[in-house]
């Protein structure tokens, strides 16, 4: 199976990757699901210190410890849990990042993180301070590369201009094609890799859920899902292969993070990875024609 280079980094990631957020950290089977994913050629695992108050990182670290050097581990930082456990606050300061990374390293049972991502961001952040923290961690060897997880055009633009990020994680699907309008080409030109999330629109694009989404009505969501289904039938493939192929069609996209909690979800992700479906320009255009264009109306 071929791997994709993540931006200008030396990280080689599977086109379909494992989103760990929804894993049940209390279930022993979760470790087996992670291990089986690697056995089936998924090598990129994405978690965050925020998920289950760090217990998600504990699970991922324990499950992948024996194959640590063979996998790409990505985690995120910036959301600080309150001491009373009532919620979290945004904290992108250098001091906090340097403290938080040590906790993530301990939970993940590793001495380095392959991809450390800022888990959000606003235009009012101390951006240079944040970048300085990531650069220091890279120089210390505690992280190999860093990126940002954001859908805010103004924040992404600042990091493209001012930092050495190698990736941007963003929501992107047929039902949320905003990245096509202004971000994907810009990131490709800057040689920054795109990691997508939400590519199934929480199951709506493959018929698992039928309700309104973003500014789309139930009828409009149904029309998009029907277009996915019809093309899948024509190509004799499963719907998930078409939904993921839609976003992988753009050369900026390096990997699709698929949320996996169950064996069935893992089987679907493996199927899409192995199918490695490519859409023609005409097929992509036909799908895109089924949804109305909209753009980011905030964070300009």
Residues noted as catalytic: 51
Check: CB of residue 116 under 8 Å from CB of residue 140.
Answer: no
Give 123-192 as a DSSP string: TTS-HHHHHHHHHHHHHHTSEEEEEEE---HHHHHHHHHHS---EEEEE-BTTB-HHHHHTHHHHHHTT-
Instruction: In whole angstroms, give the CA distance from residue 184 to residue 7.
Output: 12
Helices (H), the chain: 29-39, 55-64, 94-108, 127-140, 153-162, 178-182, 184-189, 218-235, 239-248, 263-275, 281-288
Instruction: In whole angstroms, give the CA distance from residue 22 to residue 19.
Output: 8
Check: CB of residue 276 under 8 Å from CB of residue 34.
Answer: no
Exposure string over 39-64, b if 16+ CB within 10 A, otherwise e: ebebbbbbbbbbbbebebbbbbbbbb
Interacting residues of 72 by C-beta distance below 8 A, sequence separation 6+: 11, 12, 13, 43, 44, 45, 114, 115
What separation in angstroms does the CA of 20 have from each of 116, 121, 238? 15, 21, 23
Check: CB of residue 225 under 8 Å from CB of residue 213.
Answer: no
Closest CA to 64 of 31, 86, 93, 96: 31
């Amino acid at each position: 199976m071929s791997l994709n280079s993540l931006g200008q980094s030396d990280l080689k990631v599977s086109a379909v990757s494992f989103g760990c957020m929804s894993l049940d950290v209390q279930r022993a089977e979760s470790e087996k699901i992670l291990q089986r994913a690697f056995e089936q050629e998924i090598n990129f695992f994405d978690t965050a210190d925020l998920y289950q108050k760090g217990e998600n990182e504990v699970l991922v670290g324990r499950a992948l410890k024996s194959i640590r050097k063979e996998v790409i581990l990505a985690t995120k930082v910036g959301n600080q849990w309150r001491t009373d456990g009532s919620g979290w606050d945004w904290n992108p300061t250098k001091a906090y990042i340097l403290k938080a990374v040590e906790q993530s390293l301990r939970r993940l049972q590793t001495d380095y993180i392959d991809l450390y991502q800022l888990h959000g961001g606003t235009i009012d952040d101390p951006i240079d301070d944040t970048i300085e923290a990531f650069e220091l961690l890279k120089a210390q060897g505690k992280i190999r590369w860093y990126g940002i997880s954001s859908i805010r055009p103004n924040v992404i633009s600042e990091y493209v201009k001012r930092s050495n990020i190698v990736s941007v994680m963003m929501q992107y699907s047929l039902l949320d094609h905003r990245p096509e309008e202004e971000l994907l080409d810009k990131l490709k030109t800057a040689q920054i890799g795109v990691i997508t999330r939400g590519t199934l629109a929480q199951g709506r694009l493959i018929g698992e859920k039928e309700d309104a989404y973003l500014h789309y009505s139930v009828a409009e969501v149904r029309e998009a899902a029907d277009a996915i289904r019809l093309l899948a039938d024509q190509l004799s493939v499963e719907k998930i292969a078409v939904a993921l192929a839609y976003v992988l069609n753009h050369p900026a996209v390096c990997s699709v993070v698929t949320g996996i909690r169950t064996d069935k979800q893992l089987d679907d992700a493996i199927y899409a990875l192995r199918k490695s479906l490519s859409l023609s320009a005409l097929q992509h255009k036909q799908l895109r024609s089924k949804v109305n264009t909209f753009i980011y109306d905030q964070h300009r």
